[in-house]
Amino acid sequence: MSAPTALPSFAALRLQVGSRVRAGWARVRASWGLILQASAAAGIAYGISLHVFGHEMPFFAPVAAWVALGFGRDRSVRRVAELAGGVAIGVAAGDLVVHVIGSGLWQLALVLAVSALIGRFLDRGALLTTQAGVQAIVIVGLPQIGGGPVGRWVDAVVGGLVALAFALLTPTDPRRHPRTLARAAVEELAGVLDALARGLRTRSVEDVEAALLTGRASQPALDEWRESARSAAELVRLAPAHRRHRGELDRLVVESVLLDRAMRNARVLARRSVAAVDEGHVAPGLPRLADVVGEVGRGTDDLALALGSGRDPHPARVRLLEVAATLDPHTLAPADWQTQSLALLLRSLVVDLLEAAGCDPGAARTALPEL
């Protein structure tokens, strides 16, 4: 029996890079609007300090706006106010110390301690204290930046106020980012299944190994989706305005775990398929199994569309239930133990997908034929 040949290193690298590029574009699609808003806020703050207040180098106006608004999903007024206030406190404390006792090692340590203590006195949140310390360090460490003691503080206040205005006028939907990442991650799984079905149908070791490598390279996309969903779910628990979205975000957290499990099962299935498609083996049931894997891939595509839009994944659920009913290894591949073993692995994957599509765990298992 000949050993399966590994994909050339260039092909493997291409698959890994492709997976990372797709994940990167998913992050861009989820964040581009927030980044443009924060960039516009920084530009407006710079313009106000430059043209309205006449400051020649209003460095801290765009810094305060960008830091306070950022491009994250949490743009609650409280969070933005904490960040903006921290910048203003740090700039004011740093300016005062530099003006009175100059700059240096012990002055920097002093102003950092004072800024942090003021931040802790004013608010229990860590964001305000952290930003107060950072901006104080900048002021003392680089005292030449900006337009004088009062000017730099005014710039910081202008930037913070612009950020607050943007936070109030451009509310964000905490579901958008997790939805985008969910669709991208589930589409990666669909791509793995499509490549695997093609490899099983043509008995191509290269296609099956490509499916395996794509599955391995897609793990960061799944991890990022899970972390994003958890972060958004925690956010809505603290933000009364978004609590109506809590149910969907909690489901996305559960679905991210189920899809991670499904991807792991898909990788095991692909790894076991390498030997089955080797020319030294006789596995007459592979073409039929390939059709079933392809149908699971189409159901996964339906699931990706539903998760990305927030719709009920009914079409995916129906398709996957139909596939589950056909997964009797003995009927699917009579007298072909290799294909039967692959069908058993596929059953676990389909159960995970059914649960992610809204099936009760018991109903998902009941949909499978008894062994």
* DSSP annotation of 277: T
Asked whether the predicted pLDDT for residue 13 surpasses 80, the reply is no
- What integer pLDDT is reported at residue 22 of this predicted model? 77
What is the phi-psi region of residue 70: left when phi exceeds 0, alpha when psi lies from -120 to 50, beta otherwise? left
**Alpha carbons 351 and 354: distance in angstroms, whole number:** 5
Asked whether the predicted pLDDT for residue 144 surpasses 70, the reply is no
Asked whether the predicted pLDDT for residue 229 surpasses 60, the reply is yes
**Alpha carbons 306 and 317: distance in angstroms, whole number:** 10
**Alpha carbons 86 and 64: distance in angstroms, whole number:** 9
Asked whether the predicted pLDDT for residue 87 surpasses 70, the reply is yes
**Alpha carbons 351 and 343: distance in angstroms, whole number:** 13
69-83 residue pLDDT tens: 877 655 666 677 777
Position with higher pLDDT, 69 vs 213: 213
What's the whole-number average pLDDT of the chain? 83
- Contact call for residues 41 and 29 (beta carbons, < 8 A): no
- What integer pLDDT is reported at residue 5 of this predicted model? 46
Domains of the chain plus CATH, in order, are 31-169 (no CATH), 174-366 (1.20.58.220)
- What integer pLDDT is reported at residue 258 of this predicted model? 93
**Phi/psi at 297 (5° precision):** -60, -40
- Contact call for residues 131 and 81 (beta carbons, < 8 A): no
**Of residues 163, 179, 176, the one with CA closest to residue 76:** 163
- Contact call for residues 327 and 347 (beta carbons, < 8 A): yes
- What integer pLDDT is reported at residue 73 of this predicted model? 59
89-140 residue pLDDT tens: 878 877 777 777 777 778 778 877 888 788 777 766 666 677 777 777 777 7
Task: Give the three-state DSSP class for 343.
Answer: helix
Confidence band, pLDDT 50/70/90 cuts, at residue 2: very low
Asked whether the predicted pLDDT for residue 293 surpasses 60, the reply is yes
